[in-house]
Structure 1
Amino acid sequence: MTRKLYYEDTYVTEFKSRVVKIDEDHHGLFVVLEETAFYPSGGGQPYDKGMLDGVEVIDVEEVEGELRHYVKKGFPAGTEEVEGNIDWKRRFDHMQQHLGQHIISAVFDDQYEIPTTSFHLGEDTVTIDLNTNKLSGELLQEAEKRVNEIIRHNHPVVTKWMSVEEAQEYPLRKPLAVEGDVRLVIIPEIDYNGCGGTHPKSTAEVMAVKFLGWTKSKKQVRLEFACGDRILSKFEQKHRILTEMKQLIPRPEEQLVEEVDQLVKVSKEKDKKITDLEDQLLQYEARDMISVSNGAQVIERVFQDRSIKTLQSLGKTIVEEAPHAYLILISEQEEQLQFVLARGEEIDRNMNEIAKQTMPFIQGKGGGKPNFVQGGGKRVIDGAAFAEQVKKQL
């Protein structure tokens, strides 16, 4: 059984230990030590990262009773002892987030009778699932204020190992799901919880908590938040974005939302005008193609780099105004051909059959209604040659 230094002192960042075992499993190469400060994944908290004798530790898991340190590469033959170094920034971040979660869950449970059902500590934010179907803005404001008051009060955080029977003497947040000895994390008069994670020695080290929003998750609510240094990081990110926005839009911060909203409305109006003008141009183009065809039964045109959407819009306009004609529209692109094959309503012909006969020439795919088919394929022949193959079938 590996001695777990992180339970004796969560602030230990360096240690030496005898190597008990070096082996490999489906997850990779791993080493088991006599003692370690590396925390393994568990209870919603991720594993520690760091180095063992300069070799990167990429994962730490408890497997089959062993605390396995998965490493990026092997150690020299005959290695009997290693020196470990914990990535302290990552460890302390996890300590801040985990204790923040304890305080948040305590406030929601005690103040609003909303228990926490699950916890996930992510790379960027933390989430808890709360056993309720909604949260009001007023409740969130009150809860966040209370959480930060507790943090500022600098309450001590105590951890104790004891039997389950002894633990029952405390006002536990939820029933214990273990047998034998259990580790309690205690914030006196605030929270009493069975927990195997790492936490700082006082609530003040959490620094602060900021709620970031909530979403519905099944029949519960998933609350997203950040603690400690993550808040500073997010503030810096948002400040940088605001600074860049003010360079683009020279307005005070409090007017930026209104100004951006106005810009979006103007942009949408312009987009609509552009779309209307493009539709008018396509109508003019369709009429011009019909006029130039001089009543021919087949109207065809090969374009360069026209989108399939444009071909479809143009095609629909042409067949509506030329009910007597077949239509072949092709767009040549760098490595492919796209096409629309259609017919006017005075013609009784299934254009899907025409497409099936001609698509093999471009290794293509396509389909549609009997009067209007679209598709595409590889540019193994040019557009004019493909149009000739279609006309042969017609």
Structure 2
Amino acid sequence: MSRKLYYEDAYLKTFTAAVLERGVEANGTPFVVLDQTAFYPVGGGQPCDLGTINGVQVVDVEEVNDRILHRLAAPLAAGDDSVTAELDWARRNDLMQQHTGQHILSAAFEELFEAETVGFHLGREVTTIDLTVSELTQEMVEQAEQMANAIIFENRLIEARFVTSEELAELPLRKPPTVTENVRIVSVQDFDYSPCGGTHFSQTGEVGPIKVLSWSKYKGNTRLELVCGWRTLHAMTGKQLILRSLSRQLTSSEADLPANVERLLSEKKELDKQLQEIKEKLIATEAQEALQGAVAHDTLKIAALTLENRTIPELQKLGQHIAALDPNAVALLVTSGEKTQLVFARGANVPVKMNELLKETLPLIEGKGGGNPDTAQGGGAANVPTQDVLQHALSLLQSKLAFV
């Protein structure tokens, strides 16, 4: 079993070690086992440390059957039985800020609202914690943030150590340990006592500020997204840049942004309504013009049109308008774009079923679609000129009408 230097000194950045074992996994990844290591293996919600061993990148660290495997980007050179390793300290420092900050914020929510933490994930951009509370208000979040940050700014001592069963029984634990042996407790002075196998600072001030970014319901609980330390600074800088950009674009102070955005959304809603009314009038006019130019076939009027860059809903409205204007009308509409799209519609007196006509037309463009006897729609590859597709559908329709 390797000596776990990360438990003895969480600030250790470089170390030397002897290679106990080297090998290659089934997927071809080389690995080494060292007699001692400062690389924290993945576990307990905390990602593993990364860095180098004799200049070779460590891509993953995992404890498997009491062996800490250091997976490498390439094998170590032959004869490298004594190695020098270096941690990616920026990564370790960030992980400790997030993990220790999570402990403090979780303790604050439990003390203030009896909300237990039942889930924790330390991600690359944000950390999430799941709290046993169904509803969370802005005021509650601010209270917990204030308490957590007060603990941080007081720069309280943090201690991480393995305890005996007797000591464990005397501690006011926030949650019970998941193991029965080698129980390690991380304590924040006069505030929080939690079993944890992760790496942590020795003083709360090193965590830096904590900020909750958002929260939402999750499986009957509430999931928070938060950042700590340098991540908080980066997140706030990003948000400030967005606010400044919006302020310039809207010629508004930051304080007035919510009211101005609400006004713009209201104006947009009204404009969208007016635009929809105009579109409806245009489609109605377009339908009348299509009927005027329709091809006569006995008592029927066939409005066959090729259009450009029209959506299926727009084609459907146009087809339905044409069919509604005259019970003897048939609308064959084909539009070009990234793919060819079709809409066929009929008036009440037309005997040919539009879904059957579409089904026989779609193979020409390797397309798919569906509908009912009155209206059918579909689309396919733009591998045939739209005029040829329209002519193919028109010929099929005329053929069917000849047998009615």
Q: Which TM class, normalised by the smaller chain length?
A: over 0.9
Query: Alignment partner for residue 381 of structure 2, among 371, 378, 381?
Result: 378
Name the structure 2 match of 1:301: 305
Name the structure 2 match of 1:280: 281
Name the structure 1 match of 2:391: 388
Name the structure 1 match of 2:364: 361
Work out the CA distance in 2 between the residues paired with 1:357 and 1:114.
Answer: 62
Name the structure 2 match of 1:117: 118
Relative to structure 1, is the Cα distance of residues 180 and 294 closer, same or farther in structure 2, using a 3 angstrom cutoff? Answer: closer
**What TM-score do you get using the length of structure 2 for normalisation?**
0.92
Name the structure 2 match of 1:337: 340
Letter in 1 for 2:228: C
Matches within 5 A, 1:99-178: 99-178=100-179
Paired residues of 2:52 and 2:85 also in contact (CA < 8 A) = yes
CA shift, 1:25, in A, is 2.4
Relative to structure 1, is the Cα distance of residues 183 and 309 closer, same or farther in structure 2, using a 3 angstrom cutoff? Answer: same
Work out the CA distance in 2 between the residues paired with 1:112 and 1:311.
Answer: 56
The percent of aligned pairs where both chains have the same amino acid is: 39
Paired residues of 1:49 and 1:57 also in contact (CA < 8 A) = yes
Letter in 2 for 1:281: L
Paired residues of 1:330 and 1:383 also in contact (CA < 8 A) = yes
Work out the CA distance in 1 between the residues paired with 2:89 and 2:144.
Answer: 30
Work out the CA distance in 2 between the residues paired with 1:148 and 1:383.
Answer: 65
1:21 counterpart = 2:18: no
Work out the CA distance in 1 between the residues paired with 2:174 and 2:391.
Answer: 79
Matches within 5 A, 1:344-355: 344-355=347-358
Letter in 1 for 2:2: T
Name the structure 2 match of 1:67: 68
Work out the CA distance in 1 between the residues paired with 2:321 and 2:112.
Answer: 65
- Once the two structures are superposed, residues 247-281 of structure 1 have per-residue CA deviations (whole angstroms, 9 ceiling, x without a partner) of 21222110111112212222222222222212211
Name the structure 2 match of 1:196: 197
1:328 counterpart = 2:332: yes
Name the structure 1 match of 2:314: 310
CA shift, 1:71, in A, is 1.6
Paired residues of 1:299 and 1:327 also in contact (CA < 8 A) = yes
- Once the two structures are superposed, residues 357-390 of structure 1 have per-residue CA deviations (whole angstroms, 9 ceiling, x without a partner) of 2222222211101111111222343223222322
Question: Bigger CA drift: 381-390 or 35-44?
Answer: 381-390
CA shift, 1:26, in A, is 4.6
Paired residues of 2:322 and 2:330 also in contact (CA < 8 A) = no
Divergent runs of 4+, >4 A: none
Name the structure 2 match of 1:3: 3
Work out the CA distance in 1 between the residues paired with 2:229 and 2:358.
Answer: 63
Relative to structure 1, is the Cα distance of residues 379 and 94 closer, same or farther in structure 2, using a 3 angstrom cutoff? Answer: closer
| Structure 1 runs not aligned, ≥5 long | none
Letter in 1 for 2:180: E
Q: Give secondary structure in 2 for the equivalent of 1:168.
A: helix
Work out the CA distance in 1 between the residues paired with 2:188 and 2:345.
Answer: 75
Q: Give secondary structure in 1 for the equivalent of 2:293.
A: helix
CA shift, 1:294, in A, is 6.6
CA shift, 1:284, in A, is 0.8
Work out the CA distance in 2 between the residues paired with 1:177 and 1:357.
Answer: 65
Pairs aligned (count): 393
Paired residues of 2:293 and 2:303 also in contact (CA < 8 A) = no
Taking only aligned residues, the RMSD between alpha carbons, in angstroms, comes to 1.8
CA shift, 1:30, in A, is 2.0
- Once the two structures are superposed, residues 37-80 of structure 1 have per-residue CA deviations (whole angstroms, 9 ceiling, x without a partner) of 11111111111121222222222111222111122222222322
- Once the two structures are superposed, residues 204-251 of structure 1 have per-residue CA deviations (whole angstroms, 9 ceiling, x without a partner) of 111222222321111212222221111111111111111212221222
Letter in 2 for 1:16: T
Work out the CA distance in 1 between the residues paired with 2:276 and 2:74.
Answer: 58
Paired residues of 1:164 and 1:181 also in contact (CA < 8 A) = no
Name the structure 2 match of 1:212: 213
Relative to structure 1, is the Cα distance of residues 359 and 234 closer, same or farther in structure 2, using a 3 angstrom cutoff? Answer: same
Relative to structure 1, is the Cα distance of residues 347 and 92 closer, same or farther in structure 2, using a 3 angstrom cutoff? Answer: same
Relative to structure 1, is the Cα distance of residues 159 and 375 closer, same or farther in structure 2, using a 3 angstrom cutoff? Answer: same
Work out the CA distance in 2 between the residues paired with 1:211 and 1:362.
Answer: 52
Letter in 1 for 2:89: W
| Structure 2 runs not aligned, ≥5 long | 398-404
CA shift, 1:9, in A, is 0.5
Paired residues of 1:164 and 1:176 also in contact (CA < 8 A) = no
Name the structure 2 match of 1:229: 230
CA shift, 1:33, in A, is 1.4
Matches within 5 A, 1:74-85: 74-85=75-86
Work out the CA distance in 2 between the residues paired with 1:136 and 1:378.
Answer: 51
**What TM-score do you get using the length of structure 1 for normalisation?**
0.94
Question: Bigger CA drift: 296-305 or 197-206?
Answer: 296-305
CA shift, 1:186, in A, is 1.7
